[in-house]
């Protein structure tokens, strides 16, 4: 368990709802849920969640901290926004799902090996490097996410599409070395650093 | 119309539904002069379209008849049907209303014998039955219509049907030369009792009211039970006339939802509980009712009724707001999708018929009132000094059941009486 996580457990004790309100993006909306269930029923990924949004909200209120934060559920959200559109109380459910996922990651207790989470991390690492997404490397990293053998298999399977993209100019082999960047890469890095400092300070304050 | 006497001591009641009738009777029976303006060809409003009342499950026709007799016997009440208030000017104690009276083409000679209806061929959507059936071009609005007088649909005027109807009438009751009239009426106080209308179910797109035949609204379901209604009192579904034994009710259809109506419409829970008894009434133990709800709002003494329905083994309560409805093309059954809150089980439930417990909205659009009134976000008239001598009664003031609408109407009658009493004092009478 990370230090931050221990700190948060100490601080909020049995009041997980308060913890969510203070630390999770849009978390103060959780108490507004009236448990109608229209979000869960409207979710296209619904059948694949362990706990649909409505249940997560109830679990938060019931103080089921570990079950919620280590759950793979909120990682299943594809940001289709169907739930927000249908929610009779206009809860920003999509944002809360991402907020919970992000908070769990910050605490270091997110579910390991969850593919959506892994892809999100790959995407971020890729983007944070140059300020632009390097699609070639993102693809390669994604294919080899589950090991060398699996990677080669996937890459072979996708070869046709890859060559097509190369031909159409949608993919460039030049991306293998360096790749394209934002104009002011130094400024971009400084911006990310500052944002991370602010975020770290916020967590410290919260503890 | 020139024989109508209206002064600053007259109380004008806008709307002749249960609230308007009640307010008019309360004021008239203490000696006040009352004029009732009713938009449709007969009084009684939406109550005339109900099969039974909750919680006693008695027939509204009973109380309606009593009220109609009271009205007919009272010389202080003048009723103008097919009339609408188009303008209202003035202040408490001194109002002038402009009233547009549409031609009925039938005068007071009518005995409701029905000879005109027999000879007319043209048919029109019957709004009384929420357009689930047709009425003839010459028709009686419904069996208990007051005034009990036929109406010619404007659609047949100028056609052969109109002449046929006139020729068939033995009482010289049909006057094809009637014209629309605009009259002005004085009034000291106004009781605004324009009532409600069901929320437009087409706006709730996931429920497919416009796409699926066997998804209907609660007001339509009510009409199915009427022996004189569109199905002759048979509880059958629209698509194929199959007996509707497995019926689902969806609560909060339009209500309590920021995307539709923000307010709780108050009547729908009790309406569905009541309507669940209709299915049992028709099919006994073959009835299979499911009620999908967020929470059942059966307040005060209504809780007894709720408990009674809960004990009915043919009624299942499912705590869930249904996410969407699709149609099983093979048999026309609506399929309900959602997740329940008691265990978070994902369901796909098929029913013969789905009834949307539709929300209640004011029948007059916000911002279209002819005079300045304090109106809340939902379009209901608030009690406020700004309103002067205009008092809202019944569902123009809030989403109310009949019982509370009548209480509200009585209160507004009392307020209106106080205004005209002041006028009387000032005029030294």
Average pLDDT of chain B is 96
Q: What is the DSSP letter of A111?
A: P
Asked if B15 and B195 touch (Cβ cutoff 8 Å), the reply is: yes
Could you tell me which of B187, B189, B215, B192 has the C-alpha nearest to residue B202? Answer: B215
* B263 and B314 share one domain: yes
Query: Is there a domain that residue A207 lies in?
Result: no
* A69 and A104 share one domain: yes
* A148 and A66 share one domain: no
Domain termination site, one of B360, B379, B394: B360
Q: For residue A74, give the CATH number of its domain.
A: 1.10.1060.10
Q: Using H for helix, E for strand and C for coil, what is the string for A21-89?
A: HHHCCCHHHHHHCCCCCHHHHHCCCHHHCCCCHHHHHHHHHCCCHHHHHCCCHHHHCCCCCHHHHHCCC
* B39 and B74 share one domain: yes
* pLDDT tens, residue by residue, B240-258: 999 999 999 999 999 999 9
In this complex, the residue of A37, A42, A85 whose CB is nearest that of residue B324 is A42
Domain tally for chain B?
Answer: 3
Query: Is there a domain that residue A76 lies in?
Result: yes
Query: Is there a domain that residue A206 lies in?
Result: no
* A25 and A98 share one domain: yes
* pLDDT tens, residue by residue, B108-153: 999 999 999 999 999 999 999 999 999 999 999 999 999 999 999 9
At residue A205, the pLDDT reads: 67
Mean of pLDDT values over A167-172: 86
Domain termination site, one of A112, A132, A153: A112
Q: How far is A24 from chain B (nearest CA, A)?
A: 24
* B350 and B367 share one domain: no
Query: Is there a domain that residue B134 lies in?
Result: yes
Question: Per-residue pLDDT for A14 more than 90?
Answer: no
Asked if B157 and B357 touch (Cβ cutoff 8 Å), the reply is: no
* A89 and A132 share one domain: no
* B340 and B209 share one domain: yes
In this complex, the residue of B252, B256, B337 whose CB is nearest that of residue A41 is B337
**For residue B260, how many other CB atoms are within 10 A of its CB?**
18
At residue A5, the pLDDT reads: 86
Query: Is there a domain that residue A203 lies in?
Result: no
At residue B346, the pLDDT reads: 95
Domain termination site, one of B360, B382, B417: B360
* Residue A180 touches partner B, C-beta closer than 8 Å: no
* B334 and B230 share one domain: yes
Question: Per-residue pLDDT for A166 more than 70?
Answer: yes
* A184 and A155 share one domain: yes
Q: Residue A75 and residue B218: Cα distance in Å, rounded?
A: 40
In this complex, the residue of A46, A89, A90 whose CB is nearest that of residue B346 is A46
The secondary structure element, H or E, covering residue B289 is strand B288-293
Domain termination site, one of A80, A112, A144: A112
- Residue whose tokens read 């949608």: A170
Sign of CA dihedral B224, B226, B230, B233: positive
Instruction: Work out the percent of chain B whose per-residue pLDDT is above 70.
Output: 99
Q: Name the β-bridge partners of B196.
A: B362
| pTM for this entry | 0.91
* A141 and A98 share one domain: no
Query: Is there a domain that residue A167 lies in?
Result: yes
Q: How far is A112 from chain B (nearest CA, A)?
A: 25
Chain A interface test: which of B323, B326, B337, B341 (most A C-beta within 10 Å): B323
Q: For residue B90, give the CATH number of its domain.
A: 3.50.50.60
Mean of pLDDT values over B323-328: 97
* B278 and B373 share one domain: no
* B261 and B278 share one domain: yes
Residue of A nearest to B319 (CA): A36
Residues 6+ away with beta carbon under 8 Å from B194: B14, B15, B362, B363, B364, B396
Q: How far is B294 from chain A (nearest CA, A)?
A: 5
With an 8 Å Cβ cutoff, the interface of chain B facing chain A consists of 206, 252, 256-259, 294-295, 319-324, 337-341, 344, 346
The B77-80 sheet, strands edge to edge: B77-80, B33-37, B10-14, B189-192, B390-392
Asked if B217 and B207 touch (Cβ cutoff 8 Å), the reply is: no
* A160 and A73 share one domain: no
Q: How far is B77 from chain A (nearest CA, A)?
A: 45
* A34 and A121 share one domain: no
Which of A137-141, B131-135, B341-345 bottoms out in mean pLDDT, i.e. has the lowest? A137-141
Chain B interface test: which of A34, A49, A88 (most B C-beta within 10 Å): A88
Chain B interface test: which of A41, A48, A56 (most B C-beta within 10 Å): A41
Which of A83-97, A117-131, B210-224 bottoms out in mean pLDDT, i.e. has the lowest? A117-131
Question: Per-residue pLDDT for B2 more than 70?
Answer: no
Q: Respond yes or no on whether ipTM tops 0.90.
A: no
Could you tell me which of B423, B419, B421, B4 has the C-alpha nearest to residue B190? Answer: B419
Q: Residue B163 and residue B169: Cα distance in Å, rounded?
A: 10
* pLDDT tens, residue by residue, B170-187: 999 999 999 999 999 999
For residue A1, name the pLDDT band (cuts at 50, 70, 90): low
Q: Using H for helix, E for strand and C for coil, what is the string for B130-196?
A: CCCCEEECEECCCCCCCCCCCEECHHHCCCHHHHHHHHHCCCCCECCCCCCEEEEEEECEEEECCCE
Domain termination site, one of A112, A134, A155: A112
Interchain pair B321, A90: CB under 8 A: no
Tokens representing residue A107 in the block: 């605490």
Could you tell me which of A40, A89, A35, A41 has the C-alpha nearest to residue B207? Answer: A41
Domain termination site, one of B313, B337, B360: B360
Domain tally for chain A?
Answer: 2
Query: Is there a domain that residue B108 lies in?
Result: no
* A126 and A70 share one domain: no
End-to-end C-alpha distance for chain B, whole angstroms:
27
Please give the residue range of the domain that contains residue A136. 115-197
Q: For residue B206, which residues of chain A lie inside 8 Å, CB to CB?
A: 42, 86
Query: Is there a domain that residue B325 lies in?
Result: yes
Query: Is there a domain that residue B250 lies in?
Result: yes
For residue A200, name the pLDDT band (cuts at 50, 70, 90): confident
At residue A29, the pLDDT reads: 97
* A151 and A62 share one domain: no
* B187 and B295 share one domain: no
* B206 and B344 share one domain: yes
Q: Residue B128 and residue B230: Cα distance in Å, rounded?
A: 10
Residues 6+ away with beta carbon under 8 Å from B288: B245, B246, B247, B279, B314, B316
Query: Is there a domain that residue B58 lies in?
Result: yes
At residue B303, the pLDDT reads: 96
Q: What is the DSSP letter of B370?
A: S
* A106 and A123 share one domain: no
* B353 and B371 share one domain: no
Interchain pair A36, B294: CB under 8 A: yes
Query: Is there a domain that residue B296 lies in?
Result: yes
Interchain pair A88, B206: CB under 8 A: no
Question: Per-residue pLDDT for B297 more than 60?
Answer: yes
Please give the residue range of the domain that contains residue B225. 199-360
* A93 and A127 share one domain: no
Residue of A nearest to B251 (CA): A36
Q: What is the DSSP letter of A180?
A: -
**Pairing verdict, β B33-37 and B10-14:** parallel
Query: Is there a domain that residue A205 lies in?
Result: no
Radius of gyration (Cα) for chain A, nearest Å?
Answer: 20
* B386 and B324 share one domain: no
* B220 and B277 share one domain: yes
Mean of pLDDT values over A111-116: 89
Chain A interface test: which of B199, B263, B297, B339 (most A C-beta within 10 Å): B339
Does residue B95 sit in helix, strand or coil? Answer: strand
Query: Is there a domain that residue B163 lies in?
Result: yes
Asked if B116 and B171 touch (Cβ cutoff 8 Å), the reply is: no
């Amino acid at each position: 368990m990370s230090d931050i996580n221990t700190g948060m457990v100490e601080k909020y004790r049995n009041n997980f709802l308060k913890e969510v309100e203070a630390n999770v993006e849009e978390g103060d909306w959780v108490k507004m849920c009236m448990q109608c269930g229209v979000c869960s029923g409207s979710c296209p990924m619904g059948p694949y969640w362990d706990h649909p949004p409505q249940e997560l909200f109830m679990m938060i209120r019931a103080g089921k901290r570990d079950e919620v934060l280590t759950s793979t559920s909120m990682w299943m959200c594809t940001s289709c926004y169907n739930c927000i559109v249908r929610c009779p109380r206009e809860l920003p459910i999509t944002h809360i799902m991402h907020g919970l996922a992000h908070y769990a990651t910050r605490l270091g207790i997110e579910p390991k090996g969850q593919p959506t989470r892994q892809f999100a991390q790959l995407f971020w690492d890729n983007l944070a490097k140059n300020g632009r997404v390097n699609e070639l490397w993102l693809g390669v990293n994604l294919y080899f996410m589950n090991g060398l053998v699996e990677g080669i298999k996937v890459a072979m399977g996708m070869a046709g599409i890859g060559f097509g993209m190369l031909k159409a100019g949608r993919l460039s082999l030049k991306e293998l070395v360096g790749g394209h960047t934002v104009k002011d890469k130094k400024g971009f890095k400084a911006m990310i650093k500052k944002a991370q400092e602010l975020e770290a300070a916020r967590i410290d304050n919260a503890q | 119309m020139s024989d109508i006497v209206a002064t600053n001591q007259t109380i004008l009641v806008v709307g002749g539904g249960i609230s308007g009738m009640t307010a008019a009777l309360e004021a008239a029976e203490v000696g006040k002069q009352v004029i009732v303006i009713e938009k449709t060809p007969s009084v009684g409003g939406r109550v005339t379209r109900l099969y039974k009342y909750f919680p006693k499950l008695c027939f509204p026709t009973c109380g309606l008849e009593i009220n109609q007799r009271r009205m007919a016997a009272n010389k202080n009440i003048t009723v103008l049907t097919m009339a609408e208030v188009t303008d209202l000017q003035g202040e408490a104690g001194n109002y002038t209303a402009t009233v547009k009276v549409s031609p009925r083409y039938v005068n007071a000679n009518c005995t409701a014998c029905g000879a005109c209806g027999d000879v007319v061929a043209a048919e029109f959507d019957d709004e009384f039955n929420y357009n689930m059936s047709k009425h003839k071009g010459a028709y009686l609005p419904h069996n208990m219509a007051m005034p009990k007088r036929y109406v010619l649909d404007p659609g047949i005027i100028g056609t052969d049907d109109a002449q046929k109807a006139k020729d068939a009438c033995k009482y010289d009751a049909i006057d094809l030369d009637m014209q629309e009239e605009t009259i002005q009426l004085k009034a000291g106080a106004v009781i605004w009792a324009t009532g409600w209308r069901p929320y437009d179910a087409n706006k709730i797109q996931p429920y497919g009211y416009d796409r699926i035949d066997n998804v209907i609204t609660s007001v339509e379901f009510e009409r199915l039970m009427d022996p004189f209604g569109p199905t002759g009192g048979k509880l059958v579904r629209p698509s194929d006339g199959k007996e509707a034994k497995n019926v689902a009710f969806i609560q909060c259809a339009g209500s309590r939802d920021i995307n539709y109506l923000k307010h709780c419409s108050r009547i729908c829970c009790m309406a569905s509980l009541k309507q669940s008894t209709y299915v049992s009434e028709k099919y006994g133990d073959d009835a299979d009712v499911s009620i999908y709800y967020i929470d059942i709002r059966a307040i005060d003494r209504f809780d007894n009724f709720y408990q009674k329905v809960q004990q009915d083994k043919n009624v299942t309560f499912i705590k869930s707001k249904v996410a969407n409805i699709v149609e099983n093309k093979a048999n026309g059954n609506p399929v309900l999708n959602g997740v329940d809150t008691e265990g978070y089980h994902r369901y796909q439930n098929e029913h013969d018929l789905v009834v949307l417990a539709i929300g209640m909205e004011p029948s007059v659009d916000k911002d279209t009132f002819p005079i300045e009134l304090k109106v809340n976000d939902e379009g209901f008239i608030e009690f406020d000094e700004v309103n002067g001598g205009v008092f809202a009664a019944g569902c123009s003031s809030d989403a109310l059941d009949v019982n509370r609408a009548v209480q509200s109407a009585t209160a507004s009658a009392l307020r209106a009486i106080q205004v005209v009493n002041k006028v009387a004092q000032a005029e030294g009478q």
